[in-house]
Amino acid sequence: MNSTFKIMFVCTGNTCRSPMAEGGLRVLLENKKIGGVDIFSSGTSAASGFPATIYAIEAAKIWDADISKHRSRPLTPELVEQADLIFAMTPSHCYEVIRLAPDARDRTFLLRNFPNGDCGGEGIADPIGGSLDIYNQTFLEIGEELGRILPDIIKRITENKD
């Protein structure tokens, strides 16, 4: 089994939703003293090397998550292959992951649907261009989903180590 369990979040530009989700999950797992996990993110239309937006950085502070060092990167088949678990922010992100790597279907989920593997359904709206209040709301929506799915994520991490 892998010594490190790898979780990837996917959004569009990799400067808002997926970095906030990455930071939020990192805090949740640290609080539960769960190690051996590599959490990263990418974007279906991302350029390389851009920081998270100022409002995304501020919103993540709601949970004391520091995403200030985040740098964007494009979604690639190589990143998909590395990930044990992939969470997409919208159906289009989910379908794009599977288009790039069809064998990733069983480990790719729309965040709101997990653990159901269907890509259809309601996504997390993109806050880009919105106010800090919009970003805070987006972070709280992501956080609510992360809290809901945390037991299942921990179970998968633990099973990977056995």
- Check if 126 is active-site: yes
Cβ atoms of 47 and 122 within 8 Å: the answer is no
In the numeric block, which tokens belong to residue 48? 């390389």
Instruction: Report the C-alpha gap between 131 and 128 in whole angstroms.
Output: 9
The sign of the dihedral angle between the CA atoms of 15, 20, 22, 23 is positive
Active-site annotation holds for 94: no
Note if 17 is an active site residue: yes
Active-site residue, from 11, 16, 94, 119: 11
Q: Which of 38, 84, 126, 156 is catalytic?
A: 126
**What does 48-102 look like in DSSP terms, one character per residue?**
SSPBPPHHHHHHHGGGT---TT-B--B--HHHHHH-SEEEESSHHHHHHHHHH-G
Residue among 17, 26, 107, 112 flagged as catalytic: 17
Catalytic residue numbers read 11, 17, 126
